[in-house]
Chain A
Amino acid sequence: MSTRIYVPIDSTALSLGAEKVAKAIAAEAAKRGIAIELVRNGSRGAFWLEPLVEVQTPAGRMAYGPVQPKDVAALFDAGFVTGGQHALSLGLTDDIAYLKNQERLTSARIGITDPLSLDDYIAHGGYEGLVAAFGMSGADIVKEVTDSGLRGRGGAAFPTGIKWNTVLGASADQKYIVCNADEGDSGTFSDRMIMEGDPYVLIEGMTIAGIAVGATRGYIYLRSEYPHAFATLKEAIRRARAAGWLGQDVRGSGKAFELEVRLGAGAYICGEETSLLESLEGKRGIVRFKPPLPALQGLFGKPTVINNVISLASVPIILARGGAYYRNYGMGRSRGTLPFQLAGNIKRGGLVEKAFGLTMNELIHDFGGGTLSGRPVRAVQVGGPLGAYVPASQFDMPLDYEEYAKNGAMIGHGGIVVFDDTVDMAHMARYAMEFCAVESCGKCTPCRIGSTRGVEVIDRIVANEQRGKNIALLQSLCDTMLNGSLCALGGMAPYPVLSALNHFPEDFGVDKTEAA
């Protein structure tokens, strides 16, 4: 019997040489006449160990990493095909503390299964949620999702069930399910990992949404920066359709659901839901006024559920195990789990799915092991380029939507970018404004003009041109953007700017005591 060897096909693993490792293993096995079955799985999410090679043994999957092509011959010499010891041995994958200490609900299968194998998906609990949904009314499905406490994982944290209920209640000849896969926030990659590592869970979640609200068509709007996810999704949709999991009569349920993946074109603003809908319709990604809500007049003017990848991918387990099961995780009004992403200057970067309520210290020190550079952590940016910079003094705050909001920060999509003490926070503040200027859709003035003026004012502050006056001007400008912008881009770009200024005034040339 041939031994099963896993080499990830996830983008990050590939970016560190997984393709060459896979080829080297196949070549070495052939040379030595050893029969192996090479499986290209998703990544377990312990990125500092990538390329992480796993070997199936009677005791479980044994891990080796990070493996480079030059290590492959020595691994064979050490008998890794039967779980032999080598300098790169990490023991049983399931015993790696980073993975063992997680609570994986949404990302349970990533890294374990072959992403494109429907048999593998079903063998690991896939499609249990949809099968359960077949026997339920739309209203009951929506109620289950509402009861789970699931809130929009894209960042806005709006209750998913309430959104679905609005679409369920709308009457129209056509409704749509749109998946927002325009994961543009720096420091985030959980959507990508789902799409590359467990695409069927997203397809299943969208199908359940379709059956729940009476929508027969779905679109995944995927950013063009994710070429591997695009290829995986297209193939997964093709296979799901061939096996009857998509189509005019999904698995004989009498329900229709068709799904298509569409590519964005490098516009950050298209992660904003109304701008995304414009883009899907073939237009410039200009933000729409709300109301009307997309739930009532969304894609092509029809009632539309638009949810983030993680929100939709969390639905199958909610239907399979019940809303109460999911709701049991978390704290306060933040129920369930969030796949946090540790990024930037971090020793053990990757995906950490945990229930809400843990602290930043636990995430970046216990899981992350501190900075990659070994220097002290100075700040973390939470929630993408529009998220606040959080100083070390606030790292004990529980990760909960409301707790973060209370402190002028946001959890957003769960991306955590770590900076060490060499970071220049005035530079980061300037970058936030510069980014907003580059990516503004241009519809509203505070965002379009304010961001450019913001860059100029920060430059003057740093150059010490009438510093006090310009700081007051920057604060006033931020106030205008916060309160006067049409969407979250202009409306939240001031968060990183003001948090940098408030917590790190010395980087702007302001005496810390003077600023306080």
Chain B
Amino acid sequence: MSSHHPAADALHLQSVVDAHASLPGALLPMLHAIQDEFGHVPDQAVPVIARSLNLSRAEVHGVITFYHHFRNHAPGRHVVQVCRAEACQAVGAVALEAHAKKCLGIDFHETTADGAVTLEAVYCLGNCAVGPSLRIDDDIVGRVTPEGFDEIIAELRAEVTA
């Protein structure tokens, strides 16, 4: 899911939409496919989806904005999610969250100026016996200390300059 997503040209977008249009309850699988492909659900996808599923644009917009997972702008090369839930709080998640924001210089839902990292909150990764936990793209990391966080971010940034 990380790094280079293609720009959402109309033809490509239409093909992703068409591939899912006939599923029962197609909208969520379709939105996932679009976000997996382009890194986000671009605004121009809304009328295309609406036409395909015979919905109003308002309905499609409503679904996209209801779910925390979907975003309408491109993320950084990596998405880092910090777990805020109770089990992680019991072992220092509040401090880790503060450290993450300070270290990256951004708040939740923002992307670092170098485009390396988008920071998000997440409510439970199911890794509750070995928190505090992070998800970096599709990888989950447990027992994350502030120093461990710095190392992870340094590695993510090094990939870019390499």
Contact = CB atoms under 8 A, between A and B. Distances in A.
A183 B87 CA distance: 14
Contact of B130 (A15, A188, A228): A15
Contact of B87 (A50, A226, A344): A344
B27 A417 contact: no
A93 B86 CA distance: 31
A12 B125 CA distance: 10
A177 interface: no
Contacts of B152: none
A431 B87 CA distance: 12
B24 interface: yes
B142 interface: yes
21 contacts: A11-B140, A14-B140, A15-B143, A16-B130, A183-B126, A184-B124, A187-B87, A189-B128, A191-B126, A263-B29, A265-B67, A265-B68, A282-B25, A341-B128, A341-B129, A342-B129, A343-B129, A344-B131, A345-B90, A349-B128, A428-B89
A281 B23 CA distance: 10
A204 B125 CA distance: 26
Contacts of A438: 123
A188 B128 CA distance: 7
A11 B126 contact: yes
Interface string A279-293: 111111100000000
A184 B68 CA distance: 13
A418 B86 CA distance: 9
Contacts, number: 154
Contacts of B122: 225, 266
Nearest to A263: B32
Contacts of B26: 282
9 shortest A-B CB distances, which residue pairs? Answer: A349-B129, A282-B27, A186-B85, A344-B90, A265-B67, A343-B128, A266-B68, A15-B142, A266-B69
Interface of B: 24-29, 31-32, 53, 59, 62-63, 66-70, 85-91, 122-131, 133, 135, 138-143
Contacts of B124: 184-186, 188, 225
Contact of B128 (A187, A224, A267, A439): A187
Contacts of A165: none
A346 interface: yes
Contact of B129 (A191, A350, A385, A423): A350
Contacts of B141: 15
A16 B68 contact: no
A265 B129 contact: no
A381 interface: yes
Interface in A267-308: 267-268, 279-285, 300
Interface string A41-62: 0000001101000000000000
Q: Which of B89, B91, B122 has most A Cβ within 10 Å?
A: B91
Interface residues of A, number: 61
Contacts of B28: 262-265, 279-280, 282
A187 B24 CA distance: 33
B58 to A, nearest CB: 11
A372 interface: yes
A265 B31 contact: yes
A374 interface: no
A134 interface: no
A385 B127 contact: no
Contacts of B53: 282
Contacts of A343: 87, 90, 128-129, 131
Nearest to A225: B125
A109 interface: no
A188 B126 contact: yes
Nearest to A195: B126
Nearest to A389: B86
A27 to B, nearest CB: 20
Contacts of A192: 126
B68 A186 contact: no
Nearest to B1: A227
A226 B90 CA distance: 22
Given A14-B140, A50-B130, A415-B128, A184 B24 contact: no
B91 A265 contact: no
Contacts of B131: 343-344
A435 interface: yes
Of A183, A187, A285, chain B has the most CB atoms within 10 Å of the CB of A187
Contacts of A431: 86, 89
Nearest to B81: A225
